[in-house]
Amino acid sequence: MQHRRRKRGALLPAAAAVAVAVAAGGAVAWVWDNDGSGTAQYRPPGPPAVARADCAERGQVPGSGSTAQQNAMAYWIRQYQRACSPVQIAYNPVGSGAGVAQFMRGATAFGGSDSPVEPKEVQPAAGVCPGGRAINLPMVGGAVAIGYNLPGVEDLVLDAPTVAKIFDSQITTWNDAAIRKLNPGADLPSLPIRAVHRSDGSGTTQNLQAYLAGAAPEVWTHPAEKAWQGRGGDSANGSSAVASTVNSTAGSIGYFELSFANKLGINTVRIDTGASEPVAATTATASAGIAAADVVGKGKDMTLEFDYRTSANGTYPIVLVSYEIVCDKGTPPDMLPALKSFLTYTASDDGQKPLSKIHYAPLPESVAAEVRQVVRTLR
């Protein structure tokens, strides 16, 4: 395989699907609940982030997938539809595995996934992407934070082998010698560790397991799959549920996107990578990790590959890029203009730069520019 090496300095009436419409003097966000009812949330008027000339004339664009990108997607939809009111965008955060499956059977115009789809492993159903194939477009980045709930411990440092042993039930108490060695000044209690993982198929899980397999292969011998491979522990469905469990359970530790940790005020682990200082999970340190990635996809596919063993200062090693899975050719013509318009906006400066305010890592401009170029070629 020849790698391109570029160092990088119809709406879904389903649970939590979000559609946004423009109302006079502002915007209304309509949030669907599990019972099929909805709640209208008023948004005050503000300057649109999308030039009206860039809007599609009309169209409905359903998408589903990654919970990691759901907060970014809600922001994008709200901003886009302030300017492009005839278009309706919906996104259902059902998890990466379910989102990819829905896209592959033709139920959505795009799927959100926190890990790239291998085209030769997952083929669209008959009639999906006619004349084309599914490709991965990186759209939003972030840190996979390791959040913990340990009374009296506000700062915790772990390294890759220790994280691997905790999530594989090889380290089971908080005052274990390996944790004490990394935190000599901390008052670590003899409290049992309750490690919480995702019960659903998840790109977040796959990214964490890829990090553990890449940075601590002698400890984490499990494959990097969407399904959890570690031994023991508790489980919860979705990043929100994992974060809520950690937030409410003393002695617990789990993994989720940084936005969930910040929303609930959960302490997060600093990772000892061998750099001069352990690295905290922030939007800036995650962006540094993404900037060091290589593009390894072929043709229009933009799959990225990360360096999980990095020891560069200020570079957080447990990062993910959430992709939009689309057809490079064969999107239904009644959806294509609106899909291209929306994705052009999400990959633009107006779509990317505000993401740090909601705890995401914007794509490096070199990556975002190539995404916009690919979007223009979708057919």
The CATH number for 161's domain is 3.40.190.10
In a domain, 179, yes or no: yes
Q: Which residues contact 126 (CB under 8 A, 6 or more apart)?
A: none
Q: How far apart are CA 333 and CA 338, in angstroms?
A: 10
**What is the per-residue DSSP string for 331-351?**
--TTTHHHHHHHHHHHTSHHH
Residue 42: pLDDT above 60? no
In a domain, 345, yes or no: yes
Q: Which helix (H) or strand (E) holds 139?
A: strand 134-149
Give burial (CB, 10 Å; 0-12/13-18/19+) of 40.
exposed
Give the CA count within 13 Å in the CB-facing half-sphere of 244: 6
Residue that wins the pLDDT comparison between 197 and 125: 197
- How would residue 174 be classed by pLDDT, with cut points 50, 70 and 90? very high
In a domain, 305, yes or no: no
pLDDT of residue 129: 95
Number of domains in the chain: 2
In a domain, 302, yes or no: no
In a domain, 85, yes or no: yes
Lowest model confidence (mean pLDDT) among 51-55, 59-63, 166-170, 319-323:
51-55
Torsion of CA 38, 41, 46, 52, to 10 degrees: 10
pLDDT of residue 50: 74
- Do 250 and 185 share a structural domain? yes
Reduced to 3 states (helix: H, G, I; strand: E, B; else coil), residue 102 is helix
- Do 159 and 278 share a structural domain? yes
In a domain, 293, yes or no: no
- Do 273 and 168 share a structural domain? yes
Domain encompassing residue 366:
18-141+322-376
Which of 263, 288, 313 delimits the end of a domain?
288
Q: How far apart are CA 9 and CA 141, in angstroms?
A: 14
- Do 277 and 152 share a structural domain? yes
In a domain, 300, yes or no: no
Q: Which helix (H) or strand (E) holds 59?
A: strand 59-65
Reduced to 3 states (helix: H, G, I; strand: E, B; else coil), residue 363 is coil
* pTM reported for the whole predicted model: 0.75
